[in-house]
Structure 1
Amino acid sequence: MNILLIDDDQANLALLTHLLRAIPGAVPIESSAPCEALEWCRENEPDLILIDYMMPKMDGLQFLEAFRALPDRASVPVIMITADTQSDVRHRALQMSANDFLTKPVDKTELRARVTNLLALRKAQKQLASRAAWLAEEVRKATREIVAREREAIHRLSRAAEYRDPETGAHLLRLSHYAALLAANLGLDHVQQELIRDAAPMHDIGKVGIPDAILLKPGKLDADEMEIMRKHPQIGADILKNSTCTLMQIAATISLSHHEKYDGSGYPQGLSGEDIPLYGRIIAVADVFDALTSARPYKPAWEIDKAVALIRDGSGTHFDPKCVDAFFKDWAAVMHIYSQYRDENAA
């Protein structure tokens, strides 16, 4: 363990080094200049410091104050070497977190005892820190595994819905990436961006509860059929609700709210403005844009310019104006997603 010795007297350094070499595992490192020793400590972490109080340019107290101000150096033990008459120095050193003292002339038995005790404490401290770091990494690994399983569950449920819905897997990819981009442009943090990206494919999971005659009808739905179709957000929320999984909770929120409209004319709850959850407002923009620009059994894909015009016209009525602005904030990224995840049968 590295012991930094700081004293402007070479004879004292030589004596301390000689005495410390008798301690198993101790590696003395000499410095006769406290300013240079402080610079060394910026790049290296000693296990113990022995420092004389009386030194030119920077005394022991000044060094101690500067050393404790360095990042991650608050727990390194420091022994201050003082004269018998310097009780005021000891009091100030204690206030500045010195750990122990030695009195000149240094008694070799006392030196070895104090150094051995502090090195043992330092070793235990490092072992605890190492254990804590290992436990933290194990928690991170376990968390990553849980998140991976949650994402797999979302993916498998989404694939199950694809078998009953004319929407394609490419639509879900585009929607997810549009939503994450929109979230980023709104200033949501990286964790929230990932959550909405991973939960977005579940937005229409409730369509598994809609009869095929309605879900797959190639023409326009009549009023009774539309009433049944409008139940799918609630069905999806019922499938996903009461989960302890954050991802499932967000997916349930998205399922229930992505057909609400900013002016209150949407369904199933008729929410308006910011009463609509933000995740639902984000998905509303991303889903409508992709639905318009994708071919369906009942319609051809719209031209990009026409879809853009509809989204802009719907700002403040169908869509949250902030979400519309965020969607068009990085149009190049939107077009990259549109091109990268094209349907297999797209021209």
Structure 2
Amino acid sequence: MDGPKRILAIDDERINLRVIGGLLRNLGHEPVLTESFTEARQHLDATIDLVLLDVMMPETDGFTVAKKIREIPEVADVPIIMVTALTSKQDRLKAVEAGANDFISKPIDLTELRVRMGSLLKMKESQDEVKRYQAELEEMVAVRTSALKMALENVKESQRTILSAHLETIHRLASAAEFKDEETADHIQRMSRYCALLAAKLGLPDAEVDLVLQASPMHDIGKIGIPDSILLKPAKLTPEEWVVMQKHTIFGGRILGDSNFELLRVGEIIALSHHEKWDGSGYPKGLSGEAIPLYGRICAVADVFDALTSKRPYKEAFSNEKSLEIMRAGRGSHFDPRVLDVFLNDFDSVEKIQREFEM
């Protein structure tokens, strides 16, 4: 644990408070000593790391005080240790129901106090770190999303006059989510052309093939809202980091959503659905089969192939043979069988695109 912690003690007996204060100082912590909940309430804020709470108090007993603490939003999750002479199962269950995390018996033993406080203070540190991380992430996403929304509003305005400039701006925005990693600089070029090839081979009209070509580069635009520490991590993500990474689909949908421009609407569909899987095990909605938009199913095949055959911070590039072996194993689970078959049956055209936009 880093540095001394602020420990709030509530006990109506001054001699008990003096003993507790001495023990806490001996352990290197800063005691905040109070004789009632009324007095303690003035000190209960986010700087308090743990509460030591006596059960037997004449004004308001410890069970009631614990419940009141849990009702205060800014300290609702602060660890509470009940200091009690009560030993019955019923009393301990009552304390847990009131919100206590642990118990320590009177008279207080220094070693027991250190051990019981230690685990709860580590838990509090972890909770505080998660809160700080979430706050920073939300602020960053809000700022970046706001900036991108403003940029896209300007793009929508320009569509009435200069379509080519509009498309170029969208491609530059898509590149903003990719430029951090030099190894993926050509990813959106290859991936968009793989998508267009699949769309054409699947029999989509020329206008839709062009839409897929122009919209697919926006599939990962939501990654601009993902912290670099996660996006560029040269190792396997933790479960918590993976939850954050998966949100790039939702961020992309929000950035591209609510547009009257067809290209952006298709981009939104692709951003939200390119990580869905045929068997329903994908994200963010767990769609399955033909409930997944066709554009997303097309993008899934193209995106995975390019990811497998490209170097990433966490892996080296796989050969085409190894990549196709992996993808065949995902036929009917990860990928729409029909779309994957079209991809495999015209792999010469895929390799031609691959060579044209080599890294």
**Into which bin does the TM-score normalised by the smaller protein fall?**
0.5 to 0.7
> Which deviations, in whole Å up to 9, do the C-alpha atoms of 1:319-343 show, x marking residues without a partner?
0011101112211111101111000
Confirm or deny: 8 A CA contact 2:183 2:311 kept in the other structure: no
The within-5 A match list for 1:1-347 is: 146-165=162-181, 168-343=184-359
Larger CA deviation: 166-175 vs 269-278? 166-175
Unaligned 5+ segments in structure 1 are: 1-141
For the residue of structure 2 that corresponds to 1:162, the secondary structure is coil
Q: Is the radius of gyration larger for structure 1 or structure 2? A: 1
Query: Which residue of structure 2 lines up, in the alignment, with residue 58 of structure 1?
Result: none
CA contact (8 A) 1:254 1:283 kept: yes
CA contact (8 A) 2:179 2:185 kept: no
Instruction: Measure the CA separation in 2 of the matches of 1:281 and 1:245.
Output: 22
Per-residue deviation, residues 183-241 of structure 1 (Å, max 9, x unmatched):
01100111111111111111001011111111111100010000110111000000000
3-state SS of 1:294 partner: coil
Residue 144 of structure 1 and its aligned partner are, at CA, apart by 9.6
Give 3-state SS (helix, strand or coil) of 1:269's partner: coil
2-structure distance, mates of 1:282, 1:224: 29
Instruction: Check conservation: 1:196, 1:250, Cα contact below 8 A.
Output: yes
Measured after TM superposition, the shift of residue 154 of structure 1 is: 1.3
Matched-pair contact (CA < 8 Å) for 1:150–1:247: no
TM-score, structure 2 as length reference: 0.54
Instruction: Tell me if the contact between 1:164 and 1:208 (Cα under 8 Å) persists in the aligned partners.
Output: no
- Any stretches of 5+ residues in structure 2 without a counterpart? 1-157
Contact 1:180 1:196 in 2 (8 A): yes
Deviation string for 1:230-270 (max 9, x for gaps)? 11100000000011111111001100000000000000000
Shift of 1:146: 4.5
Aligned to 2:215, what secondary structure does the other structure show?
Answer: helix
Mark the CA change 1:241 to 1:178 in structure 2 (over 3 Å): closer, same or farther.
same
Other-structure match for 1:82? none
Matches of 2:233 and 2:321 in 1, distance apart?
27
Amino acid paired to 2:293:
P
Matched position secondary structure for 2:259: coil
Query: Which moved further from structure 2: 189-198 or 147-156?
Result: 147-156
SS in 2 for 1:218: coil
- Post-superposition offset of 1:165: 4.9
Superposition CA RMSD, Å: 1.7
Query: 1:226, 1:273 → 2: CA distance?
Result: 24
Kindly provide the amino acid, as one letter, of the partner of residue 160 in structure 1.
A
Q: Work out whether residues 274 and 300 of structure 2, in 8 Å CA contact, stay in contact via their aligned partners in 1.
A: yes
Q: Distance in 1 between matches of 2:160 and 2:302?
A: 28
The percentage of aligned residue pairs carrying the same residue is 53
Paired amino acid for 2:321: D
In the TM superposition, what is the alpha-carbon distance from 1:297 to its structure 2 partner? 1.8
The answer to whether the 8 A contact 1:166-1:297 is kept is: no
* In 1, Cα distance between equivalents of 2:355 and 2:308: 15
Question: Aligned partners of 2:189, 2:265: CA distance in 1, in Å?
Answer: 20
Task: Return the offset for 1:291.
Answer: 0.3
Q: Report the Cα distance in structure 2 between the residues aligned to 1:321 and 1:167, rounded to whole angstroms.
A: 30
Distance, in Å, in 2 between the alignment partners of 1:222 and 1:176 is 30
Cα separation, 2, equivalents of 1:235 and 1:160: 14
What is the CA distance between 1:161 and its match in structure 2? Answer: 1.8
Does the 8 A contact of 2:184 with 2:312 survive in 1? no
* Cα 1:236–1:149 shift into 2, 3 Å: same
- Residue identity matched to 1:262: W
- Mapped partners of 1:251, 1:159: distance in 2: 14
